[in-house]
């Protein structure tokens, strides 16, 4: 990863679509440039990281944090649905799925 | 149900004359843990909607997941039973997508660091040359969480397309799942559908033996996605595959793959290309229909889950779990087969119909192995097939079957009445003894009523009686038949015949 990372206008458009972020077409170049700068900054880390330093995904030196398989009280149906914009038959009612393309 | 025009298919022989199939199977197993993968919500099947939920599995802000220890242990045990290596260190990953079956907008899964990898499962399939073992190589088995259940409302078909809106129940969201993925399975030739079925059957048996899941396909605790591709020759690169979902029984696994092979072959023979896509299997019509096309919408942007620390199973723990594994199914099959003294073919019939546990339990309840096999593989298998359920889900226990068989052996029931008793148990009329009492069944073993029935039958057919008296013993069948009819089948035919001949003073 020592090459300068690049990100194109098309990459930004694709990522925006995957993340369901509605970006105006005339902002794509702007974000591509900003994201490239961020990637460049992050890439500096790889200049320091030697082969003997394992990649880190978590700041805590912990593994195997487990929970016993014991039931704990959760929410009632009413509590669970209390924040839902629309409810029917004790379930969350959501708009029709797919067809978005 | 499906309203699409039927697609062209070739015959299976035409497929095999022109193509070589390659399989790939993805099986999702819901673990039978008390609680979900990352929270303490219960996992009971069939609870009222959205009553087994909490802030974590609803993805509410501020909630944090914590891994279920038993789920990890189960994953390792499954991996060991499948001859896999167990990762020394692995992480969870977020699989990002927008679909309301996951309220978090991602599913916590594993990506490039599965907990189990590189294993195999040997399965037996009957071929023209006898039983043959096929080795199905396992690519990986990883941990993830199940999704919520969506039901599509409005629209004509109850399917996604044409639905006006959907209702979501998150009781299932977060239940621990193990996804077991095979490597491409080549070299099966025309036996591809049977190999797939045998693999799922063997996997189910193995999982049941481990006690990690109730493996009920019709309730969705064992789900199979079947990948299949065709190529002109085994030396060609892999063809474009399709992934068929909604394959919810062993029988469907075989049928769906066979259908998809005939459909793909027709596409390829017409000069077109197979579209890489998800297809849906329709049990009722026996066809698959196109689901969504695989596209960049399926770029899940996986990244390591920041809310969970890595899992690093110590080698001591892994070895402890390995040492405590139950008997390997292959070893067990060999042991059972030799103790019953039956052929490879008969044994495979038991295993592939998912009846091994049931037959073994019936034998343990005192029934003869041949009788136990006969009941489970004929009468009961037929009923299960008719009802579209697995044998184990029929409302009859091995003890019930053993009891019926014991009554047959004791001469209380003949075969025909025994089948009625089985039928009664299946209809919910109680235990075999309850059914016998309730329906007034039972073989007439008291000679008095039998002799009366014989006399009556003889009086009704004096000419036949005369024939028998003159030595034409073959004519006895007519009288025996009449007696069986008048006793509504509740007599032992052998006894009737003996009494009849005795009555007429004729030797057999």
> What one-character-per-residue DSSP string does B320-359 give?
HHHHTPPPPHHHHHHHHHHHHT--HHHHHHHHHTT-HHHH
What is the reported pLDDT for B158? 55
pLDDT of B482 = 87
Compute φ and ψ for B429, nearest 5 degrees: -90, 10
With contacts defined as CB-CB under 8 Å, which chain A residues touch B308?
A: 65
Give Cβ neighbours of residue B217 (< 8 Å, ≥ 6 apart).
B204, B223, B224, B248, B249, B250, B390
Q: Is residue A21 part of a domain?
A: yes
| Residue B377, phi-psi category: left (phi > 0), alpha (psi -120 to 50), beta (remainder) | alpha
The pLDDT of residue B412: 81
Is B70's CB within 8 Å of A57's CB?
no
From residue A15, give the alpha-carbon distance in Å to each of A41, A43, A82, B94: 20, 20, 33, 16
B62 Cβ contact partners less than 8 Å away, ≥ 6 residues apart = B55
Q: A18 lies in a domain?
A: yes
3-state secondary structure of B372: helix
Of residues A57 and B205, more confidence is placed in: B205
List the single residue in B54, B67, B296 with the smallest CB-CB distance to A75: B54
Total structural domains within chain A: 1
Q: Residue B450: what pLDDT?
A: 80
Contacts of B471 (CB under 8 A, 6+ apart): B506
**Is the Cβ pair B166, A81 closer than 8 Å?**
no
Sequence length of chain B is 508
The residue of A16, A42, A55, A57 whose CB has the most chain B CBs within 10 angstroms, and thus the best one to mutate to test that interface, is A57
Burial of B443-472, coded b for 16+ CB within 10 Å and e otherwise, reads bbeeeeebbebbeebbeeeeebbebbeeee
Per-residue CA distances from A5 to A1, A41, B270, B304, B473 (Å): 8, 10, 45, 21, 98
Please give, rounded to a whole number of angstroms, the shortest distance from the CA of A83 to a CA of chain B: 10
Residues in chain A: 101
Which pLDDT score, from 0 to 100, does residue B159 have?
58
Query: Which chain B residues in 240-279 lie under 8 Å from chain A, judged by CB atoms?
Result: none
Q: Is the per-residue pLDDT at A56 higher than 90?
A: no
Residues in A closer than 8 angstroms to B170, CB to CB, are 80, 92
Residue A99 lies in a domain: no
Chain A residues whose beta carbon lies within 8 Å of the beta carbon of residue B104: none
Q: Can you give the C-alpha Rg of chain B in angstroms?
A: 28
Residues in chain A within 8 Å Cβ distance of B309: 58, 60, 62-65
Residue A35 resides in a domain = yes
Interface of B with A in 322-361 (CB under 8 A): none
pTM above 0.95, yes or no: no
DSSP 8-state assignment for residue B47: P
Give residue A24's pLDDT band: very low, low, confident or very high (50, 70, 90): very high
Average pLDDT score over residue span A47-73: 86
Model pLDDT, residue B508? 67
B47-64 per-position pLDDT tens digit: 999 999 999 999 999 999
A55 touches chain B (CB under 8 A): no
- Domains of chain B listed by start with CATH number: 12-319 (no CATH), 353-439 (no CATH), 447-504 (1.10.10.410)
**Closest CB from A62, A95, A97 relative to B160:** A97
Flag whether A72 is in a domain.
Answer: no
Mean pLDDT by 10 residues, chain B (508 residues): 70 95 97 98 95 97 96 98 97 92 94 97 91 96 96 68 84 98 97 96 91 90 96 95 91 95 96 93 92 67 93 97 90 91 90 88 94 94 89 92 91 86 93 89 74 85 85 85 83 83 78
Test B297 with A91 for CB contact under 8 angstroms.
no
Q: Kindly report the backbone phi and psi dihedral angles of residue A2, in degrees, each rounded to the nearest multiple of 5, phi listed first.
A: -80, -15
CA B437 to chain centroid, in Å, comes to 34
Residue B99 confidence (pLDDT): 87
Task: Give the pLDDT confidence score for residue A2 in this predicted structure.
Answer: 45
CB contact under 8 Å between B42 and A88, yes or no, is no
Closest Cβ opposite residue B69 in set A69, A91, A96: A69
B385-400 burial, b for 16+ CB within 10 Å, e for fewer?
eeeebbbeebebebbb
Query: Which helix (H) or strand (E) is B268 found in, with range?
Result: helix B250-269
| Cα–Cα distance, B107 to B97 (Å, whole number) | 8
pLDDT given for residue B112 in this prediction: 93
Cβ distance of A62 and B297 shorter than 8 Å? no
Q: What are phi and psi of B125, to 5 degrees?
A: -135, 140
Q: Is A52 on the interface with B (CB under 8 A)?
A: no
**Residues with Cβ within 8 Å of residue B449, at least 6 apart in sequence:** B487
On whether residue A8 sits in a domain, the answer given is: yes
Return the pLDDT at B1.
46
Burial (Cβ within 10 Å: 0-12, 13-18, ≥19) of residue B480 = buried
Query: What are the phi and psi torsion angles at B211 (to 5°)?
Result: 70, 25
Q: How far apart are CA B315 and CA B85, in angstroms?
A: 11
Q: How far is CA A67 from the centre of its chain?
A: 25
Compute the nearest-CA separation of A91 from chain B (Å). 5
Which of residues B463 and A64 earns the better pLDDT score? A64
Give chain A positions within 8 Å (CB) of B35: 67, 69-72
Assigned domain for A61 exists: no
Do the domain assignments include residue A83? no
pLDDT at B319: 97
Token pair in block for residue B95: 């699989």
Interface residue A14 vs chain B (CB under 8 A): yes
B171 φψ region: left (φ > 0), alpha (ψ -120 to 50), beta (else):
alpha
> Does residue A60 sit at the B interface (CB-CB below 8 Å)?
yes
pLDDT tens profile A1-21: 445 568 899 999 988 988 889
């Amino acid at each position: 990863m020592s090459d300068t990372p690049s990100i194109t206008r098309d990459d930004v458009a694709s990522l925006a679509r995957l993340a369901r972020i509605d970006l105006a077409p005339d902002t794509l170049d702007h974000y591509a440039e900003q994201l490239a700068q961020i990637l460049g900054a992050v890439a500096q880390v790889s200049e320091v990281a030697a082969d003997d330093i394992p990649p880190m995904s978590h700041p805590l030196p912990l593994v195997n944090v487990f929970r016993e398989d014991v039931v704990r009280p959760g929410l009632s149906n009413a509590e669970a649905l209390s924040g839902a914009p629309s409810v029917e038959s004790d379930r969350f009612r959501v708009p029709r799925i797919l067809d978005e393309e | 149900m499906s309203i699409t025009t039927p697609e062209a298919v070739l015959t299976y022989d035409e497929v095999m004359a022109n193509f070589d199939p390659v399989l790939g199977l993805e099986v999702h197993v819901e673990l039978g843990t008390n609680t979900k993968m990352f929270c303490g919500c219960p996992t009971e099947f069939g609870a009222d909607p959205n009553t087994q939920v909490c802030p974590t599995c609803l993805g509410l802000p501020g909630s944090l997941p914590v891994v279920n220890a038993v789920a990890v242990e189960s994953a390792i045990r499954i991996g060991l039973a499948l001859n896999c290596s167990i990762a020394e260190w692995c992480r969870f990953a977020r699989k990002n997508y927008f679909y309301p079956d996951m309220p978090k907008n991602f599913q916590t899964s594993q990506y490039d660091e599965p907990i189990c990898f590189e294993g195999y499962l040997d399965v037996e399939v009957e071929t023209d040359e006898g039983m043959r073992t096929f080795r199905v190589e396992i690519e990986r088995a990883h941990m993830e969480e199940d999704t919520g259940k969506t039901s599509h409302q409005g629209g004509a078909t109850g399917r996604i397309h044409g639905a006006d809106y959907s209702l979501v129940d998150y009781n299932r969201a977060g239940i621990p799942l193990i996804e077991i993925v095979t490597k491409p399975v080549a070299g099966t030739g025309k036996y591809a559908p049977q190999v797939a079925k045998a693999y799922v059957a063997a996997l189910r048996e193995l999982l049941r033996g481990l006690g990690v899941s109730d493996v009920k396909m019709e309730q969705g605790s064992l789900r199979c996605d079947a990948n299949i591709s065709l190529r002109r020759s085994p030396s060609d690169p892999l063809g474009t595959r399709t992934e068929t979902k909604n394959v919810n029984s062993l029988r469907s696994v075989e049928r769906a793959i066979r259908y998809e092979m005939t459909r793909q072959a027709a596409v390829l023979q017409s000069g077109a290309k197979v579209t890489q896509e998800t297809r849906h299997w329709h049990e009722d019509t026996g066809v698959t229909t196109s689901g969504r096309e695989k596209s960049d919408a399926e770029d899940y942007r996986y990244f390591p889950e920041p809310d969970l620390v890595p899992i690093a199973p110590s080698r001591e723990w892994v070895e402890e779990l390995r040492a405590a594994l139950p008997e390997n199914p292959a070893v067990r099959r060999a042991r059972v087969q030799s103790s019953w003294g039956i052929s490879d073919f008969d044994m495979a019939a038991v295993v592939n119909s998912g009846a091994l546990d049931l037959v073994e339990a019936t034998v343990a309840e005192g029934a003869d192995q041949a009788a136990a096999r006969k009941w489970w593989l004929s009468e009961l298998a037929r009923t299960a097939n008719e009802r579209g359920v697995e044998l184990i889900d029929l409302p009859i226990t091995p003890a019930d079957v053993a009891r019926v068989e014991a009554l047959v052996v004791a001469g209380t029931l003949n075969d025909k009445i025994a089948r009625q008793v089985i039928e009664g148990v299946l209809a919910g009329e109680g235990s075999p003894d309850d059914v016998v009492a309730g329906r007034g069944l039972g073989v007439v073993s008291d000679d008095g009523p039998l002799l009366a029935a014989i006399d009556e039958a003889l009086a009704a057919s004096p000419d036949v009686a005369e024939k028998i008296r003159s030595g034409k013993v073959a004519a006895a069948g007519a009288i025996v038949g009449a007696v069986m009819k008048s006793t509504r089948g509740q007599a032992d035919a052998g006894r009737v015949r003996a009494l009849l001949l005795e009555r007429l003073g004729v030797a057999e």
